[in-house]
Amino acid sequence: MKQFTSVHDVQDVAALVNEALQLKQTPLAHKALGQDKTLGLIFMNPSLRTRLSTQKAGMNLGMNVMVMNLDKEGWALETQDGVVMNGTTVEHIREAAAVMGQYCDIIGIRSFPKLQDREEDYSEDLLNKFIKLAGVPVVSLESATRHPLQSLADLVTIKEQAAAGKRPKVVLTWAPHVKAIPHCVANSFAEWMQQADVDLVITNPEGYDLADKFTKGSQVLHNQDEALKGADFVYVKNWSSYEEYGKVLTDGEGWMMTNEKLALTNNAKVMHCLPVRRGLELSQEILDGPNSLVIEQANNRTYAAQAVLKRMLERIA
């Protein structure tokens, strides 16, 4: 695997999921593979799970791992080509990415969307430039429109928890939030579920439909109760509007996932990528109750990252 930015970089999704589940059983079985190889993890935004699970994944494979919070510790980065840098930006991505490529065998990078200009975010300009300039395999740690390591871990969790012999009904439901949140997790989740052995239904209020590119082929319902009927898995997530780009259109009253809503489902397991706003996106009772998968889902982030890094190491070994 040369890069990991979306499900489209994966040749055989089911095989990668199985690999992650195998690594969960024997996490240290391939410690020699990453010996003397360096993983660099670059963050332009905050992170808890992605940072620690990817670092752990690298260490499980015997890699040396360097982490940099570039937004706080680095020089202010310029990404536009052809500009005279006489303002606040100090270093161009042309030099920064190329230099980091000298120090690392694999680089992971996180850069959220700005949620101001739809064309700009959806062009994935920063990630694409970084891949071109770094000259080493690049893993997305959440880009402007996708969060593929999260989605792989989500699919691993569903595979692990699904009842044998039944194609599960998976519902992605929008949840209330107080601020504008990226589409990445929801976009990626839809994209990965469409490649999996599940039936995906998406439910969100009007005005919150995700980009067709990500949802096409899946049912989108504006009635949450109807969508939840018979669900085996409910994935809870807020996102801002795509149509009125980056806007919060409603307080979303009545959309929080509660035990009352859970009663409409097939005793569904409830998932969330975290961080979660308790009592706003998801009720405390669900998070603290037997149907929540959020901690195991976060645990699986390590093995998802490890499966991806292993494929990359095998290629450069």
Binding segment (CB under 6 A) for ligand SN0, from list 82-90, 93-101, 179-187, 224-232:
179-187
CB of 50 to ligand SN0, least distance (A): 7
First-residue to last-residue Cα distance in the chain: 12
Is 311 annotated to bind ligand?
no
Which tokens go with 11?
């040749």
**Whole-number Å distance between alpha carbons of 265 and 226:** 10
CB of 199 to ligand SN0, least distance (A): 24
Q: Does 230 bind ligand SN0 (CB under 6 A)?
A: no
Q: How far is CA 284 from the centre of its chain?
A: 23
Nearest residue (CB) to ligand SN0, 112 versus 233: 112
**Whole-number Å distance between alpha carbons of 223 and 170:** 15
Helix ranges restricted to H, 118-244 = 118-122, 125-134, 148-161, 184-193, 212-215, 224-228
**Whole-number Å distance between alpha carbons of 264 and 272:** 19
**Beta-strand relationship, 106-110 and 38-43:** parallel
Nearest residue (CB) to ligand SN0, 173 versus 265: 173
Which tokens go with 292?
């929540």
Q: Does 273 bind ligand SN0 (CB under 6 A)?
A: yes
**Whole-number Å distance between alpha carbons of 198 and 293:** 18
Q: Does 185 bind ligand SN0 (CB under 6 A)?
A: yes
Is 56 annotated to bind ligand?
no
Phi-psi label, residue 241: left if phi above 0, alpha if psi -120 to 50, beta otherwise: beta
Helix axes 148-161, 13-25, angle to 10 degrees: 70
Nearest residue (CB) to ligand SN0, 112 versus 130: 112
**Whole-number Å distance between alpha carbons of 310 and 16:** 10
Binding segment (CB under 6 A) for ligand SN0, from list 23-31, 58-66, 67-75, 176-184:
176-184
Nearest residue (CB) to ligand SN0, 133 versus 155: 155
Is 148 annotated to bind ligand?
yes
**Whole-number Å distance between alpha carbons of 161 and 217:** 25
CB of 275 to ligand SN0, least distance (A): 6
Is 237 annotated to bind ligand?
yes
Which tokens go with 193?
């579920």
Q: Does 236 bind ligand SN0 (CB under 6 A)?
A: no
**Whole-number Å distance between alpha carbons of 3 and 128:** 11
Q: Which residue number has the CB closest to ligand SN0? A: 182
Q: Does 51 bind ligand SN0 (CB under 6 A)?
A: no
CB of 251 to ligand SN0, least distance (A): 15
Nearest residue (CB) to ligand SN0, 178 versus 316: 178
Q: Give the interface size with ligand SN0 as a residue count (CB under 6 A).
A: 8
Is 88 annotated to bind ligand?
no
Q: Using CB under 6 A, pick the residue from 275, 295, 316, 317 that binds ligand SN0.
A: 275
Nearest residue (CB) to ligand SN0, 137 versus 182: 182
A 10 A CB-CB count for 158 gives: 25
Extract the annotated binding site for N(2)-succinyl-L-ornithine: 142, 177, 237, 277
Residues that bind ligand SN0 in the complex, under the rule CB under 6 A: 179, 181-182, 184-185, 273, 275, 277
